[in-house]
Structure formats: C-alpha cells, structure tokens
Structure 1
C-alpha cells in the first residue's frame, strides 16, 4: 500500500515532468513573427499574405541554423525588409537572409540580399515590361553576340551532354510598347562585380552562383529600362542589414562571412510542415 510520502513524491515528480520546457530559439522567433504580423501585413503588397510570409521566413530560418545564432533584431529587420519589397525569402530565389559575423560588433547579424527572381519581379512591377529573363552561356553552346548599328544575339544551348565552362550571362527585356533591350556580361566582368560584394565568398554567391550572375546582369541593364524611380530605389536596398525592424537599411561593413547553406527541398518541406503546426498552435 502506498504511503502518504510515496503519493506526495509521485505527485511532485508528475508536476516536475509536466513543467513547460523553455522555448527553443525557433519557437522564440516564431513568437516574434506572430507578434509582428500586423506590421508585416501593413508592409506587404496587397496581393501577398502576412501569415504566408511569416511561415516562409520561419522555414528559411529553421533550415539554416546559423540564422538562429544571429541577433534577433537584425533577423527580424531582414524579414521586414523582405516584406516591404514584397519578396519571399528562401528556395523561391526572390531574396536571401544571409548570416555573417559583424567584425565591428563581434556579433552575428543577418544580411538581406535580393535574388535573380526578385530582380525580375521588381522589374515587372513597372508595368512597362512585357517579359524579362536571363540565361547563362557555356563554352559548348552556339552563341553569337554582336553590337554596333545592327545588334545581334543568338543562343542555342548545347543539348548533348556537358555544356562546358561557364563563360557569361545575357539578359533580355521586351517592352509592352514594342522594342527590347539586351545585355551580355562575360564571366570576367561578373567576377569583378562579385568581388566588390561584401558577400562575395558566402551566401548565394557560393550556393547559387549562376542565379546571382543573372541578377548582376539584369541589375546592370536597369538603367536602360523604363522603370520608375520608386522601384529603382527598392532595388538599391540590396546587400543591406537593418539593426531592427524600424531602422533604415544600411550597407554591410566589417563583414566576416560565415558558412551558409541552402537547404534541400525535402528539408524545407519538413520545416514548413513544422511551422504550420507552430503557427496553428498559437
């Protein structure tokens, strides 16, 4: 027969076991994002949903553990930057949240970088562009590029195996009123621009080199496109960090790049399902 002391010990152990565990870093960020919901909704374009943006951001954060080691204000600031530009972070390729070691403060912060698809999306918002795209060129492709009074661009990718070495990227924009603009940039020029980036050796320049090369050419072509000053200013908010959600974006300085990996689709899908549970439970 159980004694009173035994019953007391059992009840005490049960109470101890049922105590809530401290929240994980991901749960803490989820709570912050949930609280930021109204502000994210105000910042987003009308066609985008605040809950979806928060879930995508949290999936991106969970699938890159180094983001959880960064300062919370800069992480939330990067999410708000994405919301204000109406770009979705992560595997979609609109934009990236890149962890880096701030050599000035000694802490890890988050850098916001616009991706190739993000630049395409921003360009199309002008309403003056019918279509815009970029393609990589390899040494085994058939490629004919010529400037002068009669510019010419012809590209036939090699389809029978290895396309060879990467030699450059071209971008083309077709205007709604007719006409087009195209630009080709060889690998050497792309490399010069990559090396000027604070994130030259980390983030998407490492994991998505071709996509970043495409973005570089499109961004260079912008000065020839019918794009509003507002959208040009939005595109200029690239490779920046925000100290918190209310701060203005600033260029990154004193960067000491840390490892950055883009998660596999299966990992992102699993994390996305977890986030659905987290948000539904709150």
Structure 2
C-alpha cells in the first residue's frame, strides 16, 4: 500500500532529470567520449526550443538522441544532418520523438566509410537524359532543354571503381509519396512544401540501401538506413534502451533494431500537431542550405 502511494506521488521523469542521471550520462559517454557533455547540452537545447519536444515522452527524445550520437551526427536543425522530430501519437495519446536523417547525414556516413570516391543526388530536368543503358544502369547526361523537373537521380562511385545509378521519374516519386506519406495524402508537409528535397533524399536512400556498402564493418550505414524515421524500439516493440537499468549495452540495443526495421519504408516526417486541438502547426525542415 505504501509503495502504491509512493508511486502515485512520484513525479514523472523529465528530460532534464533523465540526462543528469549517472546511468544515462554513462551511456552517452560510452558512445561519444569527451564529446558527450556538448551533445547532451545540444539535446536539451533542441528540446527546449520546441514546445512539442518539451511535451514529448523524454525516453523517446533520449533514444532518438542516442541514435544520432551513435552515428556521430549533430542534431542542430540548421546543419541538416539529423533531427529529433516530435509528433503526436493519436493511438497512445502521447507525444513521442522520432529520429530523422537528413540528406547531408546520408552523404556524411557514406563518405566516412572510406569506400566512396563520389556520391551525389540531384533533380533531373527535361532533356538532360540523353541515353540509358538498361544492362549496366549507366546514364549519359546532356544539356537540359527546360526548367521542368522530370525525375531524380542518385549516383556513387567506390574507390575500387564500382559505380551505380538509381533514377526515379517524378511520377514514380509521387507514387512513393502517395503510398507511404500520410501528410502527402492530406495535402500538407514537406512532400508538399519541399517535394524536390524529399525526392532527392528518397532516391539516395534507395540507392544506398540497395547497392551501397552495408557490411558489418559499415555498421553505422546499416543502422541509419534501418532506423531513419522511427521511434527507436527493440524487436519486441519496446522503447530502447531501458533506462531503468545501468548495464544496457546501447550499441547492442541499437543493432537489435536493424532486423526488426530492415523492411520498413520511410513514412514521411510527422507534422507538429497540437495534441489538444489536433491542429497541424508546421513541419520540421530536414534540409539545410
């Protein structure tokens, strides 16, 4: 009975109280070393600058932060590498946080492997594609004949000479958005306001996940591709890591999500939604300058 009263009187954990606990600081230290204090300060700053993140389940904010820390990507929205995005989970009636990769984050992780000599993604304008070899997948590009965007292309060349292209027409990208983006279907969000940036990210992500180097040695690339746009959970559907203990191996917990999420598709960046009114406030900008 006394325990029940104590539990009722116990205040909910806040982000500030959680990140100042020895166990969680140790987790960040394990991942980032000397850079941990600065990253934790950045995490608190990002949360404090967003009313939605301030309301979010702090465990989801921290797990999203650990995901970014594991990938050694800054979460400053202005840099365009990675983001912690709040959204209202209508089924659970709570606000949660998602980890989101930016276009620059994918390029950064690919280049860090040391295996990519060149990597890029861009719009394709009308008239630019002169020819396409269906057998090798190679494209020959020419001068554009108008300012009309007709598709999107991603390309990489490895240091060993292997190269690969992936091209999607604008219609194919639109079909992808209609299938996987709830905000696109409803007529708002980044797929509406910044379609080209979302399309470029989509074609690059597809290229890397299908043909890029994703071996065990390139763990960070595999982790990023499988967890982009997700509330980080383990294969049993629980939030990870479990901060009740102090012996959680964060790296192992994050790795466990790869198999669970490997076949998941990006479901778009959730909008900022007021949990009381249901009003869409705005979308987070994923692509910096």
**TM-score if structure 1 supplies the norm length?**
0.67
Per-residue deviation at 1:176? 0.5
Indicate the residue corresponding to 2:245 in structure 1: none
The equivalences for 1:33-44 within 5 A come to 33-35=19-21, 36-44=24-32
Return closer, same or farther for 1:198/1:184 CA change in 2, 3 Å cut-off: closer
Compare 146-155 and 100-109 and name the one that shifted more.
146-155
Show the 5 A alignment for 1:166-205: 166-197=149-180, 200-201=183-184, 205=191
* 1:68 to 2:54 alignment: yes
Q: Which stretch of the first structure deviates more once superposed, 244-253 or 88-97?
A: 244-253
Larger deviation: 89-98 or 205-214?
205-214
Residue 99 in 1 paired to residue 60 in 2? no
Count of aligned pairs between the two proteins:
230
Spell out structure 1 runs of 4+ moving beyond 6 A: 250-253
* TM-score (normalised: structure 2): 0.65
Per the alignment, in what secondary structure is the counterpart of residue 50 of structure 1? Answer: helix
1:149 CA displacement: 4.7
Check whether the contact 2:154–2:204 (CA below 8 A) recurs between aligned residues. Answer: yes
Secondary structure of the 2:175 match is helix
The separation in 2 between residues aligned to 1:96 and 1:206, in whole angstroms, is: 19
Distance 1:136 1:112 in 2: 26
Gaps of 5+ in 1: 1-27, 264-282
1:214 aligns with 2:191: no
Larger radius of gyration: 1
8 Å CA contact retained: 1:115, 1:211: no
After superposition, the CA RMSD in angstroms is 3.5
Residue 149 of structure 2 is aligned to residue 148 of structure 1? no
